[in-house]
Amino acid sequence: MRALFWLSTALLAWTQAGYALLLGLLSPRRAPPAGVAAPAFDVSLIVAAYREEAVIAARVANALALDWPRERLQVIVAVDGGAEAGADATAQRARDAGADLVLELPREGKMRAQDAAVAAARGELLAFSDANAMWEPDALRALAAAFADPEVAYACGQVRFADGGGGNQEGLYWRYEMWMRARESELHSVTAGNGAIYAVRRSDYGAADPSMGHDLSLPFRMVKRGRRAVYVPAARASEKMVPTIEGEWRRKRRMMTQAWPIVLHGGLADLRGYPPVYALMVVSHRLLRYASPLLHLLALAASVALGRRRLYAAALAAQAALLAAAAAGGRVRARPLLVARYYVLTTAAIGAGLLDHLRHGTPAGWEPAEGTR
């Protein structure tokens, strides 16, 4: 039990804090090369949308306002479920806003909508965005500049979340995550991206299982091909945050339902083909992070079993205090309590997502996160 306690506690400390300290020590902190011009790509910017009539016109207008030659930019809106009876006005509003191509598709999920858009795209660089994401005018130029390096196959930008005012602490976590992502990119490659702003060379794009999203699957697959997946903080986008921590729990649970197939069956956990430093990144930042609900339960069980000894009694008290603070955060809007509630619920969401996947599989379809439109 002592070994179980110390092992689980050490692994938790490593994935939550120790790994970041190592990144800070090892990262060369290379500044992006000054004055690197974006290659003269034809770009297809793809927005997969499902019931996005409230935001799609603004998204298309934002895309058309990017600092990129209009004749070299193709804006594609792929409407998942647009061909189904009862579809909303997403497709028509995208056309009215000036999208170059609007695809009205059967309801087969985001990945199949993106695949259909890629098949119709003319660009040699494929950029992807969420329907509710707003890019800064120079975001595409900054993102495309990363591909001046022929080793780069994938690049993601920086997402900033607008606080919905409901106490969600995702912004705090996300700043920490972006700091680690920058260090990973400087060392080798990122271990995950985001759906709001990213791009991939058309020659590197490949259709995948419809339940496995690009955010987690594309970066490691590029690395296994001997390429790089990088983070470009100068390519900035913004999205509205889920207002409440409870809403964030539901969003994370859905996300993890889609992430677990990539971990269990999609090759992420197969360390063969990774350079050693990237293998360490995947284990530290992904596999151990996703194992954290189990590690917490093991540490708790060992603390209970060893609770007659002062050290382990103190550890048990600390774990009980964290849970109590998380419970109190549902009633008292004090920052420390909200952070505790966010940590406990989002950690639990990882385990809940695994149970959902094991019991029901992972559906290809998706719904917009509540409160983000």
**What is the set of domains in the chain, with CATH numbers?**
43-242 (3.90.550.10)
Instruction: Please give the C-alpha separations between residue 360 and each of 263, 287, 354, 363, in angstroms, as whole numbers.
Output: 17, 22, 10, 8
Return the pLDDT at 29: 67
pLDDT at 364 over 80: no
Return the pLDDT at 369: 74
pLDDT at 76 over 90: yes
Determine what percent of the chain is predicted with pLDDT higher than 90. Answer: 84
pLDDT at 290 over 60: yes
Asked if 141 and 68 count as a contact pair (C-beta separation under 8 A), the reply is yes
Return the pLDDT at 269: 97
Return the pLDDT at 137: 97
pLDDT at 211 over 90: no
Q: Which of 231, 228, 216, 227 has its CA nearest to residue 269? A: 216
- Across the range 95-107, mean pLDDT stands at 97
- Across the range 365-373, mean pLDDT stands at 73
Least confidently predicted of 38-42, 103-107, 301-305: 38-42
pLDDT digits (tens, 9 = 90+) for 142-168: 999 999 999 999 999 999 988 766 778
What is the CB neighbour count within 10 angstroms for residue 179?
Answer: 15
Look up the pTM and report it.
0.92
Between residues 86 and 230, the one the model is more confident about: 230
Confidence of residue 241 (pLDDT cuts 50, 70, 90): confident
Return the pLDDT at 212: 82
Confidence of residue 186 (pLDDT cuts 50, 70, 90): very high
Q: What is the mean pLDDT of the chain?
A: 93
Quick one: DSSP state of residue 137? T
pLDDT at 183 over 60: yes
Return the pLDDT at 32: 57
Q: Which of 184, 178, 187 has its CA nearest to residue 237? A: 178
DSSP lists the bridge partners of residue 155 as 199, 230
pLDDT at 328 over 60: yes
Structural Rg of the chain based on CA atoms = 21
- First-to-last alpha carbon distance for the chain, in angstroms, is 48
Quick one: DSSP state of residue 100? S
Confidence of residue 31 (pLDDT cuts 50, 70, 90): low
Between residues 164 and 56, the one the model is more confident about: 56
Return the pLDDT at 232: 96
Return the pLDDT at 277: 96
- Across the range 334-359, mean pLDDT stands at 96
Q: How far apart are the C-alpha atoms of 48 and 111, rounded to whole Å?
A: 8
- Across the range 307-329, mean pLDDT stands at 96
Residue type, 111: M
